[in-house]
Structure 1
Amino acid sequence: SLTECMIPSAFVLLDTMPLTPNGKVDRRALPIPNKAEFGLDRPFSAPQTVAEEVIANIWKQILNIERVGIHDNFFNLGGHSLLATRVISRLQNDFQADELPLRCLFESPTVAGLVNELTRIWGDRQTVEQIAEVLKSMESLSAADIDQMLLAPQIT
């Protein structure tokens, strides 16, 4: 049996496969499946919390896409195992969640699912939201701002 991420999310019937002059499949000439086949035609659910927003932004950066809803499936948006590794690595680093396994993205491939996984690791949602608020505030800092903060004398 295959895991869910290995099962194609859509099939497109073709009379013939488009080929390159070398006789290989021309991937660029393949038709794009209908959005309904991908499940992308359902209403968009925007991130409601800071944690959801931070995780959605990570997905947007890694998948190089414009928008991510909290119920969008990572693999239906173009994600694959190598990109999943990058997402989990970022989450482990950003949320200080070394216990977050790669497997959780395959089992819960949505932003909402990952927030639930982080909540399980940290023990409560409030901690996850507090970490996300710090991460979001850091996003707006320039490199010069960060350097200035690092060079500022520490008050003890």
Structure 2
Amino acid sequence: MNIGQAASASGVSAKMIRHYEESGLLPAARRTESGYRQYDVNEVHTLRFIRHSRDLGFSLAEIAELVSLWQNRRRPSRQVKALAQAHIQELEQKAAELMAMKSALEHLVHCCHGDDRPECPILEGLAGAAAVAPPSTVKRMAQRVAL
């Protein structure tokens, strides 16, 4: 099947299929004489595996390791479990950070009257947090927003 058909069958866009090939996550596709990529059922199955892994928030590096473990029928399941448990811990940390951000924002919203006055505790709080926060905290705040 061509890249469009593989994209439809796997739920992964053609652009992402190309990206996965370029990054080595998926082997380079066979090509027709005219240069079109060709995929078989096994590669589509791998693409679905990758998509499901992405849906669970695994990084590309973690997915590469998972694909390798998945394809190695002699691997011990403890390696897979350890990787999944580490990912759970990362997700729990992100969830805690998101809840802290939500709580801080809820506090700022609660303090704001939301009327016609120009005073706004939300803007003042945001300006104050950025003005007094050390660079490492500002960097962490920016990374959290990127989530």
What is the TM-score normalised by the length of structure 1?
Answer: 0.25
Higher RCO, 1 vs 2 (CA within 8 Å, ≥6 residues apart): 1
User: Which has the greater radius of gyration?
Assistant: 2
What is the TM-score normalised by the length of structure 2?
Answer: 0.26
Q: Give the structure with the higher percent helix.
A: 2
